[in-house]
Amino acid sequence: MKTVKARWFHSGRLSPIRLVVIHSMEWAEKPTTAEDCARMFATMGRQASAHVCVDNDSVVRCVADKDTAWAAPGANADGLQMELAGFARQTRGDWLDAYSKAMLKQAAAVAAGWARLYKIPVRKLSQAQLRAGLKGFTTHADVSDVYKRSDHHDPGAGFPWDVFLDLVREAMAGEDDGDDEVAIPEWKRPLTWPPTTKGDDVKVWQRQMRKRGWKLDVDGWYSQADEDICKAFQREKGLPATGNVDRPTWEAAWTAPIT
């Protein structure tokens, strides 16, 4: 996951995380839209930001989960803000074209990691449920209607919630929707993994890393690309960047905060 730090955000949280808030960027669908939006958040004078920006081939981190993005007043303190390339005026068909399907899959991988880590049920909240303080997924539009602190109504009525939430559940690979404690799967291999290692443990680790937003194939092969991602993850978490999935690296994949 790339990082382009936003200019405007609040350090820390005033409330525990309970929401994933979906936005549309109101920008054209291009391979660089996530990067372009992130650069805007990094440089503009208007006080706005999001945690991640997503397009069809990339996810860009702008604000750490532990900090508060300025995106949807009323749901900033307890929300994780996700900006998607596209427009609120899009129809369901527009949201399900080839570009948007690829983007939704990228977004679902990030959202699945959030749902797992912060015990957020994979469900679209009604406005009554949002107002009542329940945990789940919502839109900037519903936040505007419930809290009356903004006039944005994205991502629009055409957003395919059924498809998106199914992708989130698929990314979670049959695990719970966040109601139970996070469990670290048993690590059966006695040794660290060099490149070319193959096995079910590799697939479990790959799946978990995808939930955290890292782009890799869940195929059970620990390739050179996986080793490169492992090194980047180890550096991010302050672990020795060996490229081998040792026990500390394995455990960090489930327990370390997403930054």
Six token digits for residue 65: 């989960």
Residue carrying the six token digits 């672990």? 239
Q: Which domains are assigned to the chain? A: 2-171 (3.40.80.10), 197-255 (1.10.101)
Six token digits for residue 26: 């109101």
Three-state secondary structure of 110-132? HHHHHHHHHCCCCCECCHHHHHC
Q: Are 159 and 100 in contact (CB under 8 A)?
A: no
Cβ neighbours around 175 below 10 Å, total: 18
Six token digits for residue 211: 């939930």
pLDDT at position 11 is: 96
Taking the C-alpha atoms of residue 149 and residue 181, their distance in angstroms, rounded to an integer, is 34
- Predicted structure pTM score: 0.70
* Short-list 110, 109, 160, 118, CA closest to 136: 118
Six token digits for residue 198: 């193959």
Q: pLDDT tens track of the chain, all 259 residues? A: 789 999 999 999 999 999 999 999 999 999 999 999 999 999 999 999 999 999 999 999 999 999 999 999 999 999 999 999 999 999 999 999 999 999 999 999 999 989 988 989 999 999 999 999 999 999 999 999 999 999 999 999 999 999 999 999 988 864 443 433 456 776 655 456 665 577 778 888 888 898 888 988 888 888 888 899 999 999 999 999 999 888 889 889 988 887 6
Taking the C-alpha atoms of residue 151 and residue 206, their distance in angstroms, rounded to an integer, is 40
Cα dihedral across residues 239, 3, 223, 204: positive or negative: positive
State which amino acid sits at residue 254. W
* DSSP, residue by residue, the chain: -EE---SSEESS-SS---EEEEEE--B---TTHHHHHHHHHHH-SS----SEEE-SS-EEE-S-TTSEESSSTTSSTTEEEEEESB-TT--HHHHTSHHHHHHHHHHHHHHHHHHHHHT--S-BPPHHHHHTT--EEEEHHHHHHHH-S-----S-TT--HHHHHHHHHHHTTT--SS-S---PPP---SS---TTEESHHHHHHHHHHHHTT-----SSEE-HHHHHHHHHHHHHTTS---SS--HHHHHHHHHSPP-
Residue carrying the six token digits 């991502």? 155
